[in-house]
Amino acid sequence: MSIIDELIDKAMRRHIFKNREILRPDYIPDTLPHRENEIKRLAEILLPAIRGERPSNIFIYGLTGTGKTAVTKYVLRKLYEKARIKGLDNFTYAYINCRHTDTPYRVFAELASKVNVRVPFTGIATSEVFKRFLRGLDKMNKVMIIVLDEIDFLVRKHGDDVLYKLTRANEMLENSKVSLIGITNDINFVETLDPRIRSSLGEEELVFPPYDSLQLEDILRQRAKEAFNPDAIDSGVIELCAALAAREHGDARRALDLLRIAGEIAEREGASKVTVEHVYRARDELEKNRVEELLKTLPLHAKLVLLSITVQTMKNKYTTTGETYTYYTELAKNIGIEKLTQRRISDLINELDMLGIVNAKVISRGRYGKTKIITLSINPKLVLSVLSEDPRLAELVNHIRSR
């Protein structure tokens, strides 16, 4: 093979992706497989908007990655386009993600901007922004469908006042109407709402069931066709991504992430196609990121407890509450902070257990008492490297490492 051939070959091999954007979770494809029923129901409920009538408020719930956001955006966009083509201009809509727009002020400000009302970033009362939004909307003479995605974030942080105001907005409007769509993946959230809001918001309810493994395969195949070059995917790759994601309550987002990351890994190392091996590595990478994020955000004492467990389990198979506590005490003294009581440490160990970072099981050692045996469920090296990034612990961790 000539040098030129090799070069061309190499260049070709880098060509795994045709368009990786298509695998991003916020990309909305032209068709949404296995959500036909949901699309139909949602469209039926929203249809009156085209004629300028107010659709029922809707509450949508389902676990992460079940297509709630995609379906909602898809239906609204289609309806809007269709209405435009027919020369109807009776409704408008606003999509707000409450995780990003997480204060009542910003929610109202964003709504106001949708109805061409400009409000300052700050300086006026929240209720004033709301009033201006209503005035602006009323002038437009339209039905406005407001989508509040991840609505539980907003309510948890700032209460249900926003919802209360919005559900009652119609009483204050003369020419326009509003209709709400609330989306959440927290099933229990509904219970925490004021009954009046609940009944008003839940005029219609839509539940999105998780995808099963076969459905995930369809979704992945459809996207992969556009995202990857032909023959860039080995057999079994799609099936594996689907199976792994199905294990996590059928999360389509996770399935897409797996496929995307696997593709990126393959491309990075110049492979000619994505293999199952790449998928497993993608899973590990995703898992690693998750754990790193988790460890980073742990409070200081929890980090110290984790550090003691890590050090001890590197020496022995497992450790116990008592051992952990004595070692933790030393560590605390070492970096010059006040130690917590054993009672509290016991709880911290339980919390680490809940997070899946350690494994703690109560056992009785007869004569030698009752205790928890604690093992580490993640890679100890990873723990050390993440903890050493904490300036308060860096020195300590390095000292431990050097032994």
Partner DNA sequence: CTTCCACAGGAACCAGCGGACC
Partner DNA sequence: GGTCCGCTGGTTCCTGTGGAAG
Q: Which position among 29, 236, 270, 299 is part of the footprint of DNA (CB under 7 A)? A: 299
Q: What are the backbone angles phi and psi of residue 337, rounded to the nearest 5°?
A: -125, 155
CB of 85 to DNA, least distance (A): 44
Q: Where are the alpha helices (DSSP H) in 202-248?
A: 213-227, 237-247
Q: Which position among 168, 370, 392, 399 is part of the footprint of DNA (CB under 7 A)? A: 370
Q: Which is nearer to DNA, 269 or 293 (CB)?
A: 293
For 358, which DSSP code? Answer: E
Q: Which is nearer to DNA, 86 or 343 (CB)?
A: 343
Q: Which position among 340, 355, 396, 400 is part of the footprint of DNA (CB under 7 A)? A: 340
Q: Is 308 in the site for DNA (CB under 7 A)?
A: no
Q: Where are the alpha helices (DSSP H) in 209-340?
A: 213-227, 237-247, 252-268, 276-296, 300-315, 321-334
Q: Which is nearer to DNA, 97 or 320 (CB)?
A: 320
Q: Which position among 64, 346, 375, 388 is part of the footprint of DNA (CB under 7 A)? A: 346
For 83, which DSSP code? Answer: H
CB of 229 to DNA, least distance (A): 48
Residue type, 313: T
Q: Which position among 372, 383, 384, 393 is part of the footprint of DNA (CB under 7 A)? A: 372
User: Is-contact 242 255, C-beta < 8 A?
Assistant: yes
Q: Which is nearer to DNA, 361 or 399 (CB)?
A: 361
Site string (136-175) toward DNA, x via CB under 7 A: ----------------------xx----------------
Q: Is 336 in the site for DNA (CB under 7 A)?
A: no
Give the burial class of 181: count Cβ atoms within 10 A of its Cβ; 0-12 exposed, 13-18 middle, 19 or more buried: buried
Residues 6+ apart with CB under 8 A from 239: 217
Q: Is 320 in the site for DNA (CB under 7 A)?
A: yes
Q: Which is nearer to DNA, 155 or 233 (CB)?
A: 155
CB of 394 to DNA, least distance (A): 21
Q: Which is nearer to DNA, 64 or 329 (CB)?
A: 329
Tokens, residue 271? 């492979």
Q: Is 283 in the site for DNA (CB under 7 A)?
A: no
The Cα–Cα gap between 151 and 166 comes to: 13
Q: 3-state SS of 87-143?
A: CCCCEEEEEEECCCCCCHHHHHHHHHHHCCCCCCCCCCCHHHHHHHHHHHHHHHCCE
The Cα–Cα gap between 35 and 13 comes to: 35
Q: Is 204 in the site for DNA (CB under 7 A)?
A: no
Number of chain residues interacting with DNA (CB under 7 A):
29
Provide the binding-site residues for DNA, judged by CB under 7 A.
158-159, 299, 301, 320-323, 339-344, 346-350, 362, 364-372
